[in-house]
Chain A
Amino acid sequence: MTAKPKIAIAWLGSCGGCDEAVVDINKDILKVAEATDIIFWPVALDFKYHHLEALGKGEIALSIINGNVRNSEHEEVAKLIRAKTRVVLAFGACACFGGTPGMANFRSKEDIFNWVYRDAPTVVNPKGNYPQPRSQPNGKELTLPEFYEQVFALNQIIDVDYYLPGCPPPPDLILNAIDAFLEDKLPPKGSTLAPQKALCDSCKRNTTKPRNVEIHDIKRIHEVEASPDICFLAQDIICMGIATRGGCGESCININLPCRGCFGPVEGVKDAGAKYVSALASMLEAEDDKDLKKLVDKIDDLPGYLYRFSLPSSILVKKRK
Chain B
Amino acid sequence: MAGFEPKLVCFSCKFGWGYLGDEAKIDSQVKNRVPIICSGKVDATHILDAFKAGADGVLILGCSEDNCHYQDGNLEAQKRVYLLQKVLAAYGIEPERVKVELSTDPEGKKIAEAVKRFSEAIKKLGPLGKAEVEVSRVA
**A295-309 interface bits toward B, Cβ cutoff 8 Å, 1 = contact, 0 = none:** 010010011001000
Interface membership of A260, Cβ < 8 A: no
CB-defined contacts of A226 to chain B, threshold 8 Å: none
Interface membership of B76, Cβ < 8 A: yes
Complex Cα spacing A302 to B131, Å: 20
Complex Cα spacing A284 to B79, Å: 8
**Chain B binding surface SS class:** helix
CB-defined contacts of A156 to chain B, threshold 8 Å: 136-138
Report whether B130 and A321 are in contact in the complex, using a CB–CB cutoff of 8 Å: yes
A302 with B132, Cβ < 8 A, contacts A271-B45, A274-B44, A278-B44 known: no
CB-defined contacts of B43 to chain A, threshold 8 Å: 274-275, 278
**A279-321 interface bits toward B, Cβ cutoff 8 Å, 1 = contact, 0 = none:** 0111010100100110010010011001000000011111111
Report whether B90 and A319 are in contact in the complex, using a CB–CB cutoff of 8 Å: yes
Q: How far is the CB of B117 from chain A (nearest CB, A)?
A: 20
Complex Cα spacing A315 to B133, Å: 12
Interface membership of B26, Cβ < 8 A: no
Which of A27-35, A58-66, A147-155, A166-174 contacts its partner? Answer: A147-155
Interface membership of A250, Cβ < 8 A: no
A286 with B137, Cβ < 8 A, contacts A271-B48, A317-B131 known: no
Instruction: Specify the chain B residue showing the minimal Cβ separation from A276.
Output: B44
A296 with B131, Cβ < 8 A, contacts A274-B44, A320-B93 known: no
Total A-B Cβ pairs within 8 A: 106
CB-defined contacts of A274 to chain B, threshold 8 Å: 43-45, 47-48, 84
Complex Cα spacing A314 to B132, Å: 15
Q: Count of chain A residues with Cβ under 8 Å from any Cβ of B?
A: 41
- Which residue of B44, B47, B79, B90 contacts A303 across the interface (Cβ within 8 Å)? B90
A275 with B51, Cβ < 8 A, contacts A296-B82, A296-B86, A320-B129 known: no
**A79-104 interface bits toward B, Cβ cutoff 8 Å, 1 = contact, 0 = none:** 10010000000000000000000000
**A139-168 interface bits toward B, Cβ cutoff 8 Å, 1 = contact, 0 = none:** 000000000111010011111000000000
Report whether B129 and A277 are in contact in the complex, using a CB–CB cutoff of 8 Å: no
Report whether A282 and B45 are in contact in the complex, using a CB–CB cutoff of 8 Å: no
CB-defined contacts of B131 to chain A, threshold 8 Å: 316-321
Report whether B87 and A303 are in contact in the complex, using a CB–CB cutoff of 8 Å: yes
Which of B44, B129, B131 has its CB near the most chain A CB atoms (within 10 A)? B44
Complex Cα spacing A309 to B101, Å: 34
Which of B45, B47, B83, B134 has its CB near the most chain A CB atoms (within 10 A)? B83
Interface membership of B91, Cβ < 8 A: yes
Complex Cα spacing A271 to B49, Å: 10
CB-defined contacts of B84 to chain A, threshold 8 Å: 274, 277
A149 with B86, Cβ < 8 A, contacts A281-B80, A316-B91 known: no
- Which residue of B49, B82, B90, B139 contacts A315 across the interface (Cβ within 8 Å)? B49
A315 with B83, Cβ < 8 A, contacts A275-B45, A321-B130 known: no
CB-defined contacts of B92 to chain A, threshold 8 Å: 319-321
Closest 5 CB pairs of A and B: A320-B129, A303-B90, A320-B92, A281-B80, A274-B44
Can you offer 27 A-B residue contacts whose CB atoms are under 8 A?
Answer: A106-B90, A149-B132, A152-B137, A157-B137, A157-B138, A158-B138, A158-B139, A271-B45, A271-B48, A274-B43, A274-B48, A274-B84, A278-B43, A280-B83, A281-B80, A293-B82, A296-B82, A302-B83, A302-B86, A303-B87, A303-B91, A315-B52, A317-B133, A318-B133, A319-B92, A320-B128, A320-B131
Enumerate chain A interface residues (CB-CB to B < 8 A).
75, 79, 82, 106, 148-150, 152, 155-159, 270-271, 273-275, 277-278, 280-282, 284, 286, 289, 292-293, 296, 299, 302-303, 306, 314-321
Enumerate chain B interface residues (CB-CB to A < 8 A).
43-45, 47-49, 51-52, 76, 78-80, 82-84, 86-87, 89-93, 128-134, 136-139
Other A-B contacts than A292-B78, A315-B48, 8 sampled, CB-CB below 8 A, are A106-B90, A149-B132, A157-B138, A271-B45, A282-B76, A284-B79, A302-B86, A316-B48
